[in-house]
Structure 1
Amino acid sequence: MALDPVAQAAPDAAGRVELRDHTPIADSPHYNPELAPVPLEQRTWTTYNFFALWMGMAHNIPSYTLAASLVALGMDWVQAFLTITLGNLIVLVPMLLNSHAGTKYGIPFPVFARAFYGVRGANLVALLRAFVACAWFGIQTWVGGKALHVIVGRLAGEGWTGAPAVLGQVWTLWLCFLGFWVVQMLVIWRGMEAIRRFENWTAPLVSVGFLVLLAYVAVQAGGFGPILSEPSRLGWGAEFWRVFFPALMGMIAFWSTLSLNMPDFTRFGGSQRKQAVGQVLGLPTTMSFIAIVAILTTSGAVALYGEAIWDPAELASRFDSTAVVLVALVALVLATISANLAANVVSPSYDFSNAFPRRITFALGGLITGVIGVLIQPWRLISDPGIYIFAWLGFYGGLLASVAGVFIAGYWLLARTELALVDLYLAGRGAYWFRAGWNWRAVLATAVGSLLAVGGAYGGPFPADGLIPFLKPLYDYNWVVGLVGGLLVHLALAPRKEHS
């Protein structure tokens, strides 16, 4: 189907396309103002905005625990650092590929998905991504609430930290969890612009808490010598490689959600160069920074306390200096709010709105995210480093990788980056209605890629021999298997002229 020259303007000097007339789609049940293409005058995000976004998203407690958990699993600081850095360089590739459409057309992730799964079928992958984000929102809120609990406990004393238990936790911890949840809901209720402003002013500050933790541990341990000399329990032989590959998949999976929904942010980009450079400077550098700080701090904890304490709130609670605890954890609380809003609320807010455009606004979608994030019981997901990496990260990473494979095949190899913008919002007709609003080819490609990636899931809540035993060997490479599987099956099924 040819692009509509009346409604869809030619690309500007930065390669961005604008929908000048919304009249043809304004009455569509698949349209609302928040899902509509962003006008050019509102695409104002600069390189710094994207860099600050990544600094805000990467510098948070779960990013710290991600790196620290590798030390807890037996790696030394070199092994852990290399694993995380490589994982982030790999995931940056699909992230930049999927970001392109957001900047070019001004559309969010769920609308982008309509080009491949159909106007209705996009809800399948949007809601899959949304529920993963809800779980992450809950995890971030739980660890942020724990940090807040330690802060208040240092000021209030034993009466606070030793309060009676309710449902397995002291009731004061539940109170901090609830308070942390409410603050985030208030910010998201004010919309995307409030999130952007929050990211800008917190981004330069969030490093403080982690550096304070590291400095205190280094001083107590007698310098970096004892920290850097902590040996690997895995060595560099077969035992290391058995842990390395599934751990690498977990590192990639940590940001596999953002590799899909970056159009939610890049739709506000001033140019492809600004969003790409901002992300290239932002993701690898900020994650490498937080990784080395977390690794050194956790290795220092081993030297000091004889065990790898991967939870920074628990580690800080052991410090003698109240001032250090307060400075470090206040900064970490701000960092966690910043990351949670950007990484785990924006996307599902759009996704839920996409499912019911006439009934769910961006703000209401954020509230739904918050409620589901609590119901998922995040304190269970982050209870053990093995479950955290191999079960939680590995499983959902494989699922979302198959979606990323379909996106890359559809946008870059089949559509050659050309989309009929109006048709993304039309009901009953247009290039992306396919059959009853669903493209069965993309759905089947996702199902096959996901089955290959996670069908052999083992460990934690999964059977020791794998859900499907003969697929067990593939699970250690789940993200790569899902990405390649989804991409190849979609290419094999889709006609070359699918979007013409």
Structure 2
Amino acid sequence: MSATTTPTDRTGDPGDRVELPEGAAPVGRYANADLLPVPLAQRRWTTYNFAALWVGMAHNIASWTLASGLVALGMDWKQAVLTIAAANVIVLVPMLLTGHAGPKYGIPFPVFARAAFGVRGANLPALVRAAVACAWFGIQTWIGGSGIFLLAGRLLGDWWSGAGHIGGYPWTQWLSFLLFWAVQIAIIVRGMETVRRFENWAAPFVIAGALALLAWMSVKAGGLGPLLDQPSKLGWGSGFWKVFFPSLMGMIGFWSTLSLNIPDFTRYAATQRAQLWGQSLGLPTTMTAFALLSVLVTSGSQAVYGTAIWDPVALAAKLDNWAAILFALVTVLVATLSVNIAANTVSPAFDLSNVAPRLISFRAGALITAAVGIVILPWKLISSPQAYIYTWLGTVAGLLGTVAGVLIADYWLIRRTRLDLPDLYRAGGRYWYDGGWNWRAVLAFAVGGVLAIGGSHSAPGAGPFPSGGLIPALKPLADYGWAVGLGAALVLHTALSRLIPDRRAAQLDGLAEAPLTEPRG
């Protein structure tokens, strides 16, 4: 059942879907066509669409290798799969909580963040999220391009794989990178409906490719290899739990970015149930099954080649049939396209549009993201993963836990899921606060961020943090950074909002009599 509210309606049932009356779309410097609420008639994503979205995003090279990192830490395959399953059940909770605003109001993440951080202040979490996405877009594009280069070399021969070098890499690898980059842009600039259609057929295709790889390896191995029989080096005692909890936070961090900007997708949901069941069925089950699949295939490679090959591209390169190599090439292409478009392009496109709505559309934001993905030199980031990918990107992802804490507290505990749609797009309304910024949310973000990453540390020479941590007293919290940041920000924002409520919103609700100062500019 759906409901249409007037611009001043603030008491609708939390289960209702809200849209602005015809002709009442906000205008001005904080609105554009891409940021406005999606009309009810255009909210068509079903449970299958959301499940397919997650299947498409989860089935990628980075997800495939998650279990290998845990096994390298001393876990056996059962402990690794358990850790990944637990992490994705946990991260599903904030994802569903923040995703609720999408079907109800049809708004993207940066507009949703305006309620908590202020109409202008929302640019803070939006740009932090966009920075992570732009970096990962470049990295995933380089990984996808490298996969194309490697597998194409098996088909085209030495003239391709042994081409002359430019900047340390064969020119054919640069060509693969740029072609892969261009294909992604061609899809994303056509809009979210094209993204939905692409994810719909990409999901079953990638599943078929992964199962085909398992079948091929099982035949070659004459059964599964010895990896499944290897005992845990940690056992199930205190040694395991010391590794489990920081590993759990790392696995949560893998999708912590999507737990923020999931309204960018759920705003297109046909019903609230569609996003709830679609995500619940799509995320934890797919990630767990994919982790198990990667373990099974890798165990087979151990039996066939004498060493465990965790990289699916490197494993596919060992195929001896041109048709199989071509199928593997297309599978790698589709899998990487699927995750990069959905996870690393849609979000920064909306986030950058939010910075200057009059100047930057969704398509322009996507093009800026693609450009930044090259400018950051992702091939250099890949060359030092400990210092840049796992430390820098991991740290920024930890900060996103504090953003989630603020958003969940504001939407569910303070506002009880009720938002004033027109005020999200104008100065002087209930979400204007002080000059467009809500200092309560900013303070909660800052405190949560310090607690989350203040004790982060790196091995000598491996990253930007000193080995003792930025704030040694906070070092015990570093292994639980995402949870600490989320919890601290949630509690602090709730307390500040209740103890020191905003005067502007209070007067609009008829709870205060002091006159308001009109915003300037």
**TM superposition score category, shorter chain reference:** over 0.9
Name the structure 2 match of 1:135. 135
Q: Following TM superposition, by how much is the alpha carbon of 1:324 offset from its aligned partner in structure 2, in angstroms?
A: 3.2
Counterpart Cα distance in 2 of 1:299 and 1:45:
38
2:467 pairs with 1:467: no
Unaligned residue ranges in structure 1 (runs of 5+)? none
Q: 1:322-333 alignment to 2 at 5 Å?
A: 322-333=322-333
How many equivalent pairs are there? 496
Aligned to 2:441: 442
Alignment-derived partner of residue 19 in structure 1: 20
Q: How do residues 410-421 of structure 1 correspond to structure 2 at under 5 angstroms?
A: 410-421=410-421
Instruction: Label 1:10 to 1:72 Cα distance change in 2 as closer, same or farther (>3 A).
Output: same
User: Can you list the C-alpha shifts for 1:281-338, whole angstroms capped at 9, x where unaligned?
Assistant: 1111111121111122233334444544332212322344444333223112112112
- Higher alpha-carbon deviation: 196-205 or 466-475: 466-475
Cross-structure match for 1:56? 56
Instruction: Provide closer, same or farther for how the CA distance between residues 108 and 137 of structure 1 changes in structure 2, counting only shifts above 3 A.
Output: same
- Matching residue of 1:493: 496
1:186 positional shift: 0.8
Identical counterparts, % of pairs = 59
**Aligned ranges 1:19-418 → 2 under 5 Å:** 19-21=20-22, 23=24, 25-26=26-27, 28-383=28-383, 390-392=390-392, 394-418=394-418
Q: Which amino acid aligns with 2:413?
A: L
Q: Which has the larger Rg?
A: 2
**Structure 2 counterpart of 1:16, one-letter code:** R
77-86 vs 229-238, which moves further: 229-238
Question: Structure 2: which amino acid aligns with 1:38?
Answer: V
Is contact 1:81–1:291 with CA below 8 Å preserved after alignment?
yes
Change (3 A) 1:88 1:383: farther
- The answer as to whether partners of 1:72 and 1:308 remain within 8 angstroms in 2 is no
Instruction: For structure 2, list consecutive stretches of 5 or more residues without a partner in the other structure.
Output: 510-521
Q: Deviations over 1:147-193 (max 9, x none)?
A: 21122101111222122333332222121111100000111111111
Counterparts in 2 of 1:458 and 1:302: CA distance versus 1, 3 Å:
farther
Tell me how far 1:228 sits from its aligned partner: 1.4
Amino acid at match of 2:327: V
The letter of the residue matching 1:495 is R
Residue pair 1:120, 1:438 contacting (<8 A) in 2 also: yes
CA contact (8 A) 1:55 1:283 kept: yes
Q: Does 1:484 align with 2:487?
A: yes
Q: 1:13 to 1:391 in 2, by over 3 A?
A: closer
Structure 1 window deviating more from structure 2 (377-386 vs 348-357): it is: 377-386
Q: Per-residue deviation at 1:352?
A: 0.4
The answer to whether the Cα contact below 8 Å between 2:316 and 2:325 also exists between their aligned partners in 1 is: yes
- Please report how far the alpha carbon of residue 214 of structure 1 lies from its aligned counterpart in structure 2 after TM superposition: 2.4
Per-residue CA deviations over 1:20-44 (Å, capped at 9, x if unaligned) read 1454722x10000110011111111
Name whichever of 291-300 and 350-359 sits farther off: 291-300
Displacement, 1:381? 4.3
Pair 154,4 (structure 1): closer, same or farther in 2 beyond 3 Å: closer
Q: Which amino acid counterpart does residue 453 of structure 2 have in structure 1? A: V
Q: Residue 358 of structure 1 aligns to a residue in which SS?
A: coil
Which segment is superposed worse, 394-403 or 216-225?
216-225
Partner of 2:325, secondary structure, is helix
Query: Structure 1 residues 21, 133: CA separation in 2 closer, same or farther (over 3 Å shift)?
Result: same
Letter in 1 for 2:263: P
Amino acid paired to 2:352: F
1:211 & 1:163 partners in 2: Cα distance? 33
Whether the 8 Å CA contact 1:398–1:481 is kept in 2: the answer is: no
* Counterpart-to-counterpart distance in 2, 1:381 and 1:76: 30
Q: Is the 8 A contact 2:6 2:21 kept in 1?
A: no
Counterpart-to-counterpart distance in 2, 1:411 and 1:13:
11
TM-score w.r.t. the length of structure 2 is 0.89
Paired residues of 2:5 and 2:19 also in contact (CA < 8 A): no
Where 1:19 maps in the other structure, the secondary structure is coil
Amino acid at match of 2:123: N
Deviations 1:87-138 (A, max 9, x none): 0000000000001111111100000000010000001110110111111211
Does the CA-based 8 Å contact 2:445-2:489 persist in structure 1? yes
Given the superposition, is the C-alpha separation of residues 317 and 385 from structure 1 closer, same or farther in structure 2, using an over 3 Å criterion?
Answer: farther
Larger deviation, residues 188-197 vs 386-395:
386-395
Q: Which residue of 1 aligns with 2:430?
A: 431
C-alpha separation in 2, matches of 1:393 and 1:300: 32
| Equivalent pair of 1:250/1:389 in contact (CA under 8 Å) | no
Judging changes above 3 Å, is the alpha-carbon distance between structure 1 residues 228 and 404 closer, same or farther for their aligned structure 2 residues?
Answer: same
CA contact (8 A) 1:64 1:294 kept: yes
> What TM-score results when the alignment is normalised by the length of structure 1?
0.93
1:451 match:
450
Task: Give the C-alpha shift of residue 82 in structure 1.
Answer: 0.5
CA distance in 2 between counterparts of 1:311 and 1:318 reads 11
Cα RMSD (Å): 2.3
